[in-house]
Chains A and B, each alone.
Chain A
Amino acid sequence: MAYDSSKIEDFKNVWVFCEQRQGVMMPTTFELISEGRKLADELGVDLCGILLGDNVDGIAAELGGYGADKVLVYNSPLLKDYTTDAYTKVICDAVEEFKPEVMIFGASNIGRDLAPRCAARLHTGLCADCTHLDIDLNGYIEFLKTGSSLDVEHMSFESKLFDVNKNLKMTRPAFGGHLMATIVCPRFRPAMATVRPGVMKKRPFDEAGTKKVVIEHPAFQLAESDIKTQVLEVVKATKKLVDLIGADVIVSVGAGIGKDVEKGIALAEELAAVLGGVVGASRAAVDAGYITADHQVGQTGKTVHPKIYIALGISGAIQHKAGMQDSECIIAVNKNEAAPIFEVADYGIVGDLFKVVPEMIESFKAVKEAK
């Protein structure tokens, strides 16, 4: 019987693409497994990870610790390095064989290469770079109460076209974060989404899950002739990249350090060191060449939610705000009292960062030492 993505009643279970590089699981995978667990529970189905690589059995069981019921492992020397063709073929064949109803990928440079290709081959819908996922309608409405400016009490959530309680509701920013849209894929399965790294919260690790999880190795077909690109080499960045997503404290610099870039960055680094944090940056600072792109927070960079976010000389373009406004405590220093960054700041100081930051360092040090 031919595969038909529109026979939605044939599809069941939630799948997560478990991205690994060089045999190491990408941290986002654990966030996705955690989120996938929530979706699978809302649907009352199993959560299954799909892991492709060469000899990667050793990293499969850990997924159980974050909520996976099962992991399908596909090992082959042809899957060692990511190629669009090999990964697309193995995943699409697996989807056609097992028919999951929901499938999520991390919105990494690999996930965003792979997921659209799979969705096009499988004739189904894909929503890019999601920041919120819901199956349960009540959960979605609760999310809108705090996550939107909609008057949810006086809105209808019914639809004549589809069952609003069973379809995946995929919410994502659009137009540079000015608008949010919730997308559905009502007529085809699996409903597919890529999910922005750093947004979904990781569940507490549960050792028992690693023993319960079922690891399977389904048979599959893949030949060298299926792969039309050739990977010549994979090069890891030599410079240690800053880990913004895992940081508890981020001190970010913006165009405001332009007066004395070297000193501005040194001050940010010192302040970050006092608080045990790392240095981030706005797009303006990156575009101006003040600091490398791995430090960038915001729409095209990264979404962060540290405990403390300190914005120095950042005016607060909407893309930047969208990338950091869920931080627990935001402190902004800017010369311009009308800077939009103050709209999201918990504490604002109007002043020159070159004057304020050295004072701030001393004050914070004094408090830390007093403890």
Chain B
Amino acid sequence: MKIFVTVKQVPDTSGKVAVKADGTLDRASMQTITNPDDLNAVEAALTLKDEYGYKVVAFCMGPPPAEPMLRELIAMGVDEAVLISGREFGGSDTYATSQIIAAAIDHYGIEEDDIILAGRQAIDGDTAQVGPQIAEKLGLPQITYAGDIKKEGNTLTVKRILEDGYMMIKVQTPCMITCIKELNTPRYMTVSGVLGAWEKPLTIYDYPTLQDHPLIDKSTIGLKGSPTNIYKSFTPPQKGVGTMLKGDGKDTTNELASILAAKHII
């Protein structure tokens, strides 16, 4: 009875973002954080663990410096972490990434009553594609945009949020669910959790670990195995500064109204 939670370490795009002269991101100057939606997935896993006694295993694909982030998740209550790391995996797009993470979860072993939880999307790419693509690669049903999850035996009832309402959906485990921030409020690390975080298992899956898995093939992973490529990247243009009106009184708003009227804007 396990819950796999997929997590990603991302640059904090809400803080100061530095772009280098060549139009790429200056990652070195940016803070990294656990992707916010992924923390909602971790919280959902821990809530289910508290009630039903699941073992929660976090899966992260990224470079070795992601380890402290995984230790923080363990300090929150995650039981075990797997870091999928290898040069061969670098440069993967969502297709290749989902292939690798699906292989890693399958390598660990999926049983009848297991659940895979993911954040809706990561704030660096905002694609929301890896969750559904992992589900497809594993042949599991998926429910995205989960705003509520209820469990009864091996059946989950999930509230799937839509722009104009919601759907209630029933699904059998094993399945994949992606979580949105409205689902819950992530808990903090506990003192005992922090103290014990370095004793819990953290396993590294590198290319040799996964190379015999049927989903892993050099032609479908990494930069070379990615169906999409970046053609150009650039910064959006800054719109020119407009007119700053003087003052904040009635004269000012009258001036604004007459300018807009003269230009037939109002």
Contacts and interface: CB of A to CB of B under 8 A. Distances in A.
- Count class of interface residues, chain B: 35 or more
A366 B25 CA distance: 49
Given A147-B236, A175-B17, A352 B248 contact: yes
Nearest to B244: A348
B189 interface: no
Contacts of B133: 116-117, 119-120
Contact of A344 (B95, B229, B239): B239
Contacts of B19: 178-179
B95 A120 contact: yes
B192 to A, nearest CB: 31
B227 A123 contact: yes
B142 A299 contact: no
Contacts of A347: 242-245, 256, 259
A266 interface: no
- Count class of interface residues, chain A: 35 or more
Secondary structure of the A contact surface, majority rule = mixed
A234 B265 contact: no
A231 interface: yes
Which of A115, A181, A368 has most chain B Cβ within 10 Å?
A181
Given A84-B141, A174-B126, A345 B135 contact: no
B242 A345 contact: yes
Contact of B164 (A21, A84, A337): A21
Contact of B167 (A127, A182, A234): A234
Given A108-B162, A126-B129, 4 more contacts: A144-B234, A150-B232, A180-B234, A363-B253
10 contacts: A113-B142, A125-B227, A128-B125, A129-B127, A149-B235, A150-B232, A175-B25, A178-B13, A188-B227, A241-B164
Interface of A: 21, 81-82, 84-85, 88, 108-110, 112-113, 115-117, 119-121, 123-129, 144, 146-150, 159, 161, 164, 169, 173-188, 228-237, 241, 275, 294, 299-300, 307-308, 317-319, 322, 325, 328-331, 337, 342-352, 355-356, 359-360, 362-364, 366-368, 370-371
